[in-house]
Amino acid sequence: MMAWLPKWRAMGKDLPLSLLRAALVGLFVLPLLFQGYTLYLATEAAILGLAAVALGFLLGHAGVPSLGQAAFLGIGAYTLGLSLKAGLPLAVGLTLAPLTAGLYAFVTGILLFRTHGIFVLMLTLAFGQMVYSVAHKWAGVTGGDDGLSLPANTLSPVILHLSAVVLLFLVVALLRFFLETPFGKTLEAIRQNEEKVRSLGVPTFYFKLGAYVLAAFLTGLAGAGLALHRTFVSPHDLFWITSATLMVMVLLGGSRGLFGAAFGALLYTLIQAWVSSFSELWGLFVGLLLIGTVLFAREGIWPLLERKLGGNRGSA
């Protein structure tokens, strides 16, 4: 019987972390009680949270920085919008959106990972701006500056919100499981010391490309959800500022914790809405918060909370 004591103690140590994560899920679900604009914001936070989780996985666990995630978000959004306008079923559009984003990531990733360091970051920005330019200039297909209006949404706000929240935390759970596989462990090793891993004969190119495509797939799915939520797609959403916004969400929440990226998306969305209600200087407020996070909680706010509650153990 004494053999069970270590297990019970371990469960006791995990309880605060489990409660913290349950509280995060609760924050996403709570707006169902209020409906209206509060529910709209929470749905947007959940969808953007999916894109932030994808970037957090790419940056924090594969070591690949990216300022081109807006391209995948936009590709997913436009693919869904054009599919619906063509009369295709919603399920088909939701399937094509992440696949198209993943295909673009595969093609560009073949070029991207032939370089390293800051050049990777700059190329992601360049590839992203290419998609923005096409969406902005190809008015006959994308609507150009006027954007693309989607057919009326047949999903109720409640169903859409619950679907977004369930998908967000299902992806978090699947990615946490994925990181425990040999592929995920290899990605972690590449992030820590790519040269050493390459010297062991591991084809790091393919591992990074796989992570990049997976992140693009999830971001494209988030883009489709965002289009469905807003019933409108604008080329301005593909501009690099959207990629920078996702990066801020990840840095606020924490790039090394997948829950942290979701928390960062919720925090950013709520702060923007709250400060905007009484001031146009919400960007200044977010900037000060980001500076404080970088200086005093470099790993992000969420890992700091987990460390305080979980006895300095890392998060994933």
How confident is the model over 227-278, as pLDDT tens digits?
A: 999 989 999 889 999 999 999 999 999 887 789 999 999 999 999 998 888 8
Among 84-88, 162-166, 257-261, 310-314, the range with the most confident prediction by mean pLDDT is 162-166
- The answer to whether 231 and 152 have CB atoms below 8 angstroms apart is yes
- Residue 313 falls in which region: left (phi positive, over 0), alpha (psi -120 to 50) or beta: beta
| Nearest residue to 142 via CA among 241, 243, 234 | 234
C-alpha count within 13 angstroms, C-beta hemisphere, residue 309: 16
Rounded CA-CA distance 300/292 in Å is 10
Would you state the pLDDT for residue 10?
Answer: 46
Rounded CA-CA distance 193/197 in Å is 6
Angle between helices 240-253 and 282-296 (to 10 degrees): 50
Locate 312 and state its tokens: 């300095």
Q: Once rounded to an integer, what is the mean pLDDT over residues 138-147?
A: 85
Rounded CA-CA distance 64/42 in Å is 28
Instruction: Give 314's pLDDT tier (boundaries 50, 70, 90).
Output: low
Residue with tokens 């799915």: 221
Which letter does DSSP use for residue 257 in this model?
-
Compute CA 299 distance to the chain's CA centroid, rounded to the nearest angstrom. Answer: 17
| Nearest residue to 310 via CA among 11, 25, 24 | 11
Rounded CA-CA distance 125/109 in Å is 12
Compute CA 77 distance to the chain's CA centroid, rounded to the nearest angstrom. Answer: 15
Would you state the pLDDT for residue 216?
Answer: 97
Amino acid found at 186: T
Provide the whole-model pTM. Answer: 0.91
Degrees to nearest 5, angle at CA 152 with 237 and 99: 50
